[in-house]
Amino acid sequence: MPTLWHGRFAEGPAEALQALNHSIGFDQRMFREDIACSRAHVRMLARVGLFEAADVETVLVALDAVETEMSDGSFAFVDSDEDIHTAVERRVTELAGDAGARLHTGRSRNDQVATDLRLWVRREMAELAALVARLQATLAACADDAGDAYLPGYTHLQQAQPVLLAHHLLAHGWALSRDVDRLLGARDRADVSPLGAGALAGSSLPLDPDGVADDLGFATRFENSLDAVSDRDFVVEALFALALLGVHLSRLGEEIVLWSTDEFGFVALDDAFSTGSSMLPQKKNPDVAELARGKAGRLIGNLTGLLASLKGLPLAYNKDLQEDKEPLFDSCDTIRLTLLALDGMVATLGFDTDRMSESADSPYASAVDLAEFLVVAGMPFREAHAVIGGHVRTALAGGGTLTDLVAADERLGPEAAKLLVPGAAVLRRTTPGGAGPEPVAEQRQRFADRLAAQAERI
């Protein structure tokens, strides 16, 4: 089978060139988008008088047949099928003869591939946003189940102040809501049709890029043909949104890894979402959480790799741009698998809330409440900090319990010592957005509202 561009060449392509140059191995997954573009293109050609009505019908029937063959796996690829655009056109021409040979009128693979990929990104971003929303709903459900359970909150991975478990879980939920925003933002910026830009400069034929954009459901069409075929910023944005989402999932993964250790013991993993060791019979490993952590590396690599490929490319199309698809597909696939597995893992976590409160109940966790007690009585905070720090130092050096030292200090006394009772500190986090039961009740409602608003946009 000759190549699409054989006319100018006396000799066929070398095998090594084909092996490097062909993208069919990975871009065939855009066949639906490619066929949709061809349908819209041929209808537009008919509207502007470049295609006979009967030919449109023949080509549309052939496109349907190609779509069926590609969906059911019966499509026979041949050597010269360089990429998905070539393969579809070749087969349509086989099926539709002369009418098929007219399909590429006024069109280049350069505007075609950009259009296919924008359609692909537009759909995929929405689907992945819906999967993120599912994980958010799971976190919200765990937060509801957690009631008023609390655990140590950490800074520097050192115990700092107790926080409600619901608050901790929702912290991950809010980060994910910004990921949803970013995915939908990437979707919206991909929502521009490049079809009609041609190879780089538009056409001498009376094409109608607005009509074709409309037909494909794009929000708008390109403004500049050179820009339309040469930029992949919409892919970079998608990769960034996915990389940052991956970073957020890696942080959640890391906490599940830590929390499931014997040392923490805050969660037990469900059998279905943990793995065993080939040698050590007692082991139960948090592989899903570790992979959520590890996958962030390749997501970041996909982003930086494409940025490096794009850097310094002159206008307009260059074959370097073919390097856009593998990282994009890989990042989307990676995030999809990670989200599904992590969602299942979180949904089945067994929280050991007794263990959590036991760890959180050290009197030192209430030290700032003691300082604030002094502040309310009129002492400058810096001074109060030093007074309480002194008591902590004495207690740690074996000079009595913090509770006794506080009770015996006339500036503090028994009222202040009550602040050290287990469970008291978390109740006192009352400010908006804070970690105590009062603001967390409000936060739950705001989070539910956010999920509902998000669902509308997806």
Instruction: Kindly state the tokens that stand for 60.
Output: 């549309």
Residue 176's H or E segment, with its range, is: helix 165-190
Distance CA 96, CA 100 (A): 5
Q: Is the CB of residue 106 less than 8 Å from the CB of residue 198?
A: yes
DSSP label at residue 107: -
- Taking the least distance from each CB to ligand ARG, the nearer of 23 and 80 is 23
Q: Which of 167, 172, 225, 277 is catalytic?
A: 277
Task: Please identify, using beta-carbon distances, which residue of 319 and 382 lies nearer to ligand ARG.
Answer: 319
| Nearest-angstrom CA–CA distance, 47 and 120 | 26
Min dist. Cβ of residue 113 to ligand ARG (A):
4
Pinpoint the alpha helices (H) of 219-377.
225-230, 233-259, 287-310, 325-347, 353-360, 367-376
Provide the minimum distance between the beta carbon of 217 and ligand ARG in the complex, in angstroms, as a whole number: 22
Of 84 and 132, which CB lies nearer to ligand ARG in the complex structure?
84
And the tokens for 55? Answer: 């030919």
What is the spatial distance between Cα 216 and Cα 41, in angstroms, rounded to a whole number? 9
- State in angstroms the smallest separation of the CB of 196 from ligand ARG: 16
- Of 74, 156, 204, 278, the active-site residue reads 156
DSSP H or E segment with residue 268: strand 267-268
Task: Select 37 or 252, whichever has its Cβ closest to ligand ARG.
Answer: 37
CB contact at 8 A, 89 and 100: yes
Question: Looking at beta carbons only, is 69 or 326 nearer to ligand ARG?
Answer: 326
Paired sense of beta strands 267-268 and 350-351, if any:
antiparallel
Report in angstroms how near the CB of residue 22 gets to ligand ARG at its nearest: 8
Rounded to whole angstroms, the Cα distance separating 259 from 353 reads 12
Q: Is 277 one of the catalytic residues?
A: yes
Q: Please name the residue that has the structure tokens 């034929």.
A: 205
Residues with Cβ < 8 Å from 202, sequence gap 6 or more? 196, 225
Distance separating alpha carbons of residues 247 and 172, to the nearest angstrom: 11
* Residue whose CB is less far from ligand ARG, 88 or 321: 321
In whole angstroms, the minimum distance from the beta carbon of 199 to ligand ARG comes to 7
Least distance CB 235 / ligand ARG (angstroms): 11
Note if 156 is an active site residue: yes
Task: Please report, as ranges, the residues that interact with ligand ARG according to CB under 6 A.
Answer: 23, 27, 83, 109-110, 113, 317, 319, 321-322
Supply the residues annotated as catalytic.
156, 277
